[in-house]
Structure 1
Amino acid sequence: MWKALDIEEWKNQRRSDLAGAKDAVAGIVDAVRKDGDEALYALTKKFDHIDLEDLAVAPEEFEGAYEEVDDAMVESLAEAEAHIRRFHELQRNHSLWLDEVEPGVILGVKTTPLDRIGAYVPGGRAAYPSTALMTTVPAQVAGVAEICVCSPPPIHPLTLVALDIAGVDECYRVGGAQAIAAMALGTETIDPVQKIVGPGNVFVTAAKMMLREEAEIDFPAGPSEIGILADATAKPAFVAADVLAQAEHDPHAGCILVTTDPSLPAKVGAEITRQMATAERRAIIEKALDHSGYVVVRDLDEAIAAMDDIAPEHLSIQVADPMAALTLVRNAGSIFVGPYTAVAFGDYASGTNHVLPTAGYAKVYSGLDIHHFCKTSSVQMISREGLEWLGGIVENLASAEGLHAHANSVRIRRRKDA
């Protein structure tokens, strides 16, 4: 339950859970590589206890899903989709920019969307229509032509409605590591993709990392986690609520409070006990709390240094001067500033993306955005004027490296009769 933590041990636990899944995942990947659809049917029966008739979701199933979803929920999903689309449209780059950096030398960048991507939408313990939106809408904004979605069966009507609102109609009833293998390798039914995005459990994340030679991935996005940076001004009830909100995701979720106030952890612990008494997902929360706790530090500088070392998926800043803390923080997937900014806003409706790096990978990866769905090509245009300005430099350097044909490819262009 709620306890004092050692940061190094907590970080190692987050990574060890992932490493421990790799052996099991290797066998699943091999099965899909060898047997394709047949393996997907067999693995779905083994892990989900479902005998599938078809992998693909038919068009009429998308239409029928609306009959099982309340109109108010459909409206909320539509509004959330609009907010997510608006935020990601702000990230859009010019498809081509060019700049004359010197007379006769024009440089630039051409941005091209990927042709086909795969999005993994978790299921099982809960419906995640929000993830359906978070993984597919940015891809659409980026200009991806084909979006393939995999989600564990039975796929909840909410997820199908969300995909329909987003304009995605290619969806398959397959989950877990086998879904990642299917999208990366391809099967008789599922065409391979260039890149796979989306969160999942340790097996899904291990499969993504294992298959990077076959398809690029966004980043390791495993069991959810939160780091809370708090001082004596933090409201214990708010901190406890944020802990429980992350803990209910998954038994392997992790929550860590770093505080300068020695009295805060006990107050938060009492609030956790009080709020958990009425929690509907209490069994999951209790297991997740085994991976959760707090660290007390001397001052805010030490707290920020500790949090940067942790590099949490979600960072909640609940201190007296949150903006000052924000400017100092370097490593976090998504940052929630101030006491009233619940992480749940980013999970659902503010418009920012909730697909984020976990297990300390926020030190090197950014959360999902439209740039994950594009690639860039540098562009250069050299005129005769630019040839004279740069030619001598290139000839000298190429000759120094012994690449005489390189030097000649410029020299031949510099001739007066060329």
Structure 2
Amino acid sequence: MSNKSYIKTFASVESAKKNLLQRQRISLVDYKLPKEQQKKNKDIFKKNLTPFQLVSKIIGDVVKDGDNAVKKYCSILDGAELESLLVSETEIEAAFKDVSKSEIDAIQYMSERIRNYHEIQLRNADREFFQNGFGIKVVPIERVGVYMTGSITALPSSIIHTATPAKVAGVGSIYGITPTDPSGKVNPYKLIAARFAGIEKIYKGSGAQAIAAFAFGTESIPQVDKIAGPGNIFVAMAKQQVNGSVGIDALYGPTETLVIADEFTDPQICAADILHAAEHDALAIPVLITTSKETAKAVSSIITKRIDSFARHEIIAQSLQNGGIVIAQDINEAVSLSNLFGPEHLCISTKNASDIIPMIKNAGGIFVGEGTPEVIGDYTGGISHVMPTGGAARFSSPLSIYDFQKIISIANIKELDLAKLGPYASQIAKMEGLDAHANSIDVRLERMQ
């Protein structure tokens, strides 16, 4: 066991601001690959292409060559040789045979929990109205494509947490696209999750070529109206570049968890939350803000003692360096820093944790009290774990049914309304130099006389 501290401690909120609030956001324009990957790409494409340029090339090739381009890039970049891009019913049936009943039951239970929560959300989301000649109607998006992230690593939870809100929102057709292993096989957990989530057809494809296929369509893969789901840097770049031709849910970065604690916090539970947050990948950002120096010291010590017991301890050690432990003077100062940070996940592990909820302005999700682990939200709680990162919680929300619905404005006025509204509208049109606009109103007003 090492005596070193794996996570740095900031003695004040002001010192933490200079570091934590400057967390590096991955640039989707000038991102640089590791040198070995740069060399590999140069060998493949015979020129130096930035990741942004590579993604642009892939998108253009998919638009031009359709299925052949998807297959080509899956072969070149993943070593996956794909005969058909459509996952067959036989492959889905085999997945259910290959996985144990207890694992299938767990995925199904998660699916039911996520669906039930979003059905409650739908019942409380009646936003349609029509009043005084104007109103809105709410309609679901017709076609959604879900990127089913991960090739060797399976993340069935992300599939269910992305597709289920779309299904409940009433989306007409939901399609999935997933990376495969080199043999062209899809992880069975993903196929089972897709079936429970209501994805009607699943296609094989990865990275930028998968996003391009959904954005523009190919011979096999349908064009969709919106693409949802997290992925790697190439997926994020591709979503950014096709945005406008197709809708996207968001651009997701490294995961973040911020814990607010006080002197009443159990250091074992607090350390467990920091360790789990650091386990995702080397870019994850785990942060503890506490009003207690004793809690800070105890949590740091427990992390040092426990870290080597986890299989992904090297990744945990790396990501702990992205965050830190912050000593705040009081809860108000702790909450203020949290609101500035705008974390994806906010865990309130204090006495009377519920009292702090009204003070929170920016967070993807709030997990209240030590009895509510953030991991429950990752899997079986009900809320979607697809949440804003990188401070985007200041202006955006977790994935929900609202992401898969759109509002259409309605105007249906009577003559009396036009007689009242028309003259003012005509005057403003003339002020703006748009005589034809004014005329469109004036001819109606004249016929009413």
What is the TM-score of this pair, normalised by structure 2? 0.85
The question of whether the paired residues in 2 share the 8 Å contact of 1:333 and 1:356 is answered with yes
The question of whether the paired residues in 1 share the 8 Å contact of 2:152 and 2:180 is answered with no
The question of whether the paired residues in 2 share the 8 Å contact of 1:226 and 1:314 is answered with yes
SS for the counterpart of 2:200 is coil
Q: CA deviation at 1:184?
A: 2.3
Q: Which amino acid aligns with 2:302?
A: E
Change (3 A) 1:41 1:4: farther
| Alignment partner, residue 3 of structure 1 | 8
Unmatched runs of 5 consecutive residues or more in structure 1: none
SS for the counterpart of 1:130 is helix
- Give the alignment of 1:36-55 within 5 angstroms: 36-55=66-85
Whole-angstrom CA distance in 2 between matches of 1:56 and 1:29 = 24
Q: CA deviation at 1:164?
A: 1.0
- Give the alignment of 1:331-350 within 5 angstroms: 331-350=362-381
| Alignment partner, residue 24 of structure 2 | 14
| Alignment partner, residue 322 of structure 2 | 291
Change (3 A) 1:192 1:95: farther
State yes or no: 1:194 paired with 2:199.
no
Q: Which amino acid aligns with 2:165?
A: P
Q: Which amino acid aligns with 2:24?
A: R
Q: Which amino acid aligns with 1:119?
A: V
Change (3 A) 1:125 1:7: farther
The question of whether the paired residues in 1 share the 8 Å contact of 2:55 and 2:237 is answered with no
Whole-angstrom CA distance in 1 between matches of 2:30 and 2:431 = 51
Change (3 A) 1:214 1:95: same
The question of whether the paired residues in 2 share the 8 Å contact of 1:252 and 1:291 is answered with yes
Unmatched runs of 5 consecutive residues or more in structure 2: 1-5, 11-15, 33-49
Whole-angstrom CA distance in 2 between matches of 1:9 and 1:211 = 33
SS for the counterpart of 1:171 is strand
- Give the alignment of 1:125-164 within 5 angstroms: 126-154=153-181, 155-164=186-195
| Alignment partner, residue 111 of structure 2 | 81
Whole-angstrom CA distance in 2 between matches of 1:356 and 1:415 = 54
Change (3 A) 1:247 1:300: same
Bigger CA drift: 370-379 or 115-124? 115-124
The question of whether the paired residues in 2 share the 8 Å contact of 1:112 and 1:374 is answered with yes
State yes or no: 1:245 paired with 2:276.
yes
| Alignment partner, residue 38 of structure 2 | none
Change (3 A) 1:86 1:153: same
Change (3 A) 1:176 1:21: farther
State yes or no: 1:356 paired with 2:383.
no
The question of whether the paired residues in 1 share the 8 Å contact of 2:384 and 2:398 is answered with yes
| Alignment partner, residue 302 of structure 2 | 271
| Alignment partner, residue 45 of structure 2 | none
Whole-angstrom CA distance in 2 between matches of 1:245 and 1:18 = 27
Q: CA deviation at 1:160?
A: 0.6
Change (3 A) 1:417 1:321: closer
Q: Which amino acid aligns with 1:149?
A: G
State yes or no: 1:222 paired with 2:253.
yes
Whole-angstrom CA distance in 1 between matches of 2:427 and 2:188 = 66
- Give the alignment of 1:54-133 within 5 angstroms: 54-92=84-122, 97-100=128-131, 105-124=132-151, 126-133=153-160
Change (3 A) 1:349 1:266: same
The question of whether the paired residues in 2 share the 8 Å contact of 1:21 and 1:203 is answered with no
User: How many residues matched?
Assistant: 414
SS for the counterpart of 2:110 is helix
| Alignment partner, residue 313 of structure 2 | 282
SS for the counterpart of 2:9 is coil
SS for the counterpart of 2:24 is helix
State yes or no: 1:325 paired with 2:356.
yes
SS for the counterpart of 1:294 is strand
Q: CA deviation at 1:350?
A: 1.4
Whole-angstrom CA distance in 1 between matches of 2:78 and 2:111 = 29
Q: CA deviation at 1:46?
A: 4.1
Describe the superposition over 1:226-280 as per-residue Cα deviations: whole angstroms up to 9, x where unpaired. Answer: 1111121221111221122222222211111122222222211222233323212
